[in-house]
Amino acid sequence: MVTRMLGAHGEAADTSWMNSGKCREYPPNTFFPSDSVGVSIARRICAVCPMKAICLEYALDNQIEHGIWGGTSERARRRMVRARLNMAQLDTAAS
């Protein structure tokens, strides 16, 4: 089954990879923890997930602010976004 959701820019995003994620084996609230213990549990699940990299890119591309995606917390994804923006600015300045 191919699931389609709207991406950050309004285009259809292919989410069929979600059907193969380890997260399908757990309740959704597992990946929306309220404490550091919950974050650790979610990260351990993500660590062995074959969809980890795709999941992380999906969260970054779609600016998902909540939950554990691709084994990363909201804070970690914010840092990644800032680092990517900084790299893009450096690349632009160097051109």
Contact indicator for 56, 42 with CB cutoff of 8 Å: no
Q: Which of 56, 46, 61 is nearest to 13 (CA)?
A: 61
Distance (Å, whole) CA 3 – CA 91: 35
pTM of full prediction above 0.85? no
AA letter at 2: V
Q: Give the position of tokens 């790299």.
A: 87
The neighbouring-strand residues paired with 4 are 14
What is the pLDDT, as a whole number, of residue 4? 42
Supply the pLDDT for residue 2: 38
pLDDT at 10: 55
Tens-digit pLDDT string for the chain (95 aa): 334 454 455 566 789 999 999 999 999 999 999 999 999 999 999 999 999 999 999 999 999 999 999 999 999 999 999 998 888 888 788 77
Q: Any idea where the domains of the chain sit in the sequence?
A: 4-94
